[in-house]
Amino acid sequence: MEKSNKATNMSFAASDIKTVSVAGYASCSYHQKALAAAQAFFGADKVNDRTFASRDLYKAWLKTKDGLTFTGNPSKNYGANHTSSPFTWINESTFVGGCDDTMAMLEELENEQAASNTVSVAGSASTSAFITSSSFKGETRAIPSLPMESHQQSVMAARAEYPGRPLFILYVGAADAKGKSWCGDCNDIKTKLGQLPQDALILECQVTRKEWKTTPGGEHPLRSQRFAPVAGVPTLVKMGVANGSLSRPVASLVESQILDDELLKAMMEV
């Protein structure tokens, strides 16, 4: 099914994007931002890095654009009048736009993948490509990050269903269909998740790049909630046993701490 990219007035599916090309000059911060974001989302092997050593060399390239005739974004006149850095296109010659257009495209694709790969229903058993591509072989459920009421209800429902079972919450950046997260640190911890008890239940809470960094970003309720403040992703939280209808966090590890075998072992013993 085709997806419409609102920001760029294009219609395409993520699976149709074979290559992404980002042209610009080396000292341009906007070019570097768009290029880094594209490589983080698609992988460096799928991104054609057209970085020119100087602004003049880039401007010279703009006059010819390798002889390509672009299609794609009619509101941008298919790139004919584009003079700033970067100049981004997908596949052979589908023009995207500059830095803002590139970031908007990636945001739309990320939200599309997050929606299709994460089941956010309290009490509903589900798995995601992120967990299934990790070393953890036990049971996992996807839970929503917002609103906080639904997030907490999902946690309490799981604890009520399994009052004596080891229960963890894993906060990670949203992953694509292959299980690759936009958050590099999240991908790094996959090999460590196998150290969690196999009878444990992991509640996986994915957040999109926009949700975590832009809107609401620093104001995200998870960052300030007394229930389980999340300083960054990935964060692994161990929940205590049920006390009436409540279950509180008893330990948490953030980012590189999860890679520390001694810290992870200590968490298991709490």
pTM exceeds 0.95 for this model: no
In a shared domain, residues 72 and 46: yes
CA angle 167, 168, 174 (to 5 degrees): 140
Greatest Cα pair distance, the chain, in angstroms, is: 70
In a shared domain, residues 58 and 136: no
More confident residue, 145 or 54: 54
Of residues 142, 146, 115, 145, the one with CA closest to residue 131: 142
Which of 113, 140, 163 is the last residue in one of the domains? 113
Most confident of 104-113, 116-125, 140-149, 195-204: 195-204
The three-state (H, E, C) secondary structure of 53-101, written as one string = CCHHHHHHHHHHHHHCCCECCHHHHHHCCCCCCCEEEECCCEEEECHHH
List all residues 6 or more positions away from 267 whose beta carbon is below 8 Å from its beta carbon.
236, 238, 251, 253
Q: Is 91 left (phi over 0), alpha (psi -120 to 50) or beta?
A: left
pLDDT at 120 over 60: no
In this prediction, residues 12-28 reach a mean pLDDT of 88
What's the CATH code of the domain at 201?
Answer: 3.40.30.10
In a shared domain, residues 150 and 257: yes
In a shared domain, residues 148 and 105: no
pLDDT of the residue at 118: 44
In a shared domain, residues 247 and 132: yes
In a shared domain, residues 19 and 144: no
Domain that holds residue 59: 3-113
pLDDT of the residue at 6: 44
Q: Tell me the pLDDT band of 152, cut-offs 50, 70 and 90.
A: confident
In a shared domain, residues 12 and 97: yes
In a shared domain, residues 43 and 147: no
More confident residue, 61 or 249: 61
In a shared domain, residues 56 and 128: no
- The three-class DSSP label of residue 115 is helix
pLDDT at 42 over 90: no
Least confident of 20-34, 111-125, 239-253: 111-125
The two structure tokens encoding residue 12: 């395409």
pLDDT at 141 over 80: yes
Q: Tell me the pLDDT band of 227, cut-offs 50, 70 and 90.
A: low
Which of 63, 84, 113 is the last residue in one of the domains? 113
In a shared domain, residues 66 and 135: no
The owner of tokens 């974001």 is: 37
Of residues 185, 227, 230, 180, the one with CA closest to residue 205: 230
Q: What is the pLDDT of residues 71-85, one digit of tens each?
A: 876 656 667 889 999
Q: Where are the beta strands (DSSP E) in 80-234?
A: 87-90, 94-97, 139-142, 167-173, 201-207
In a shared domain, residues 53 and 127: no
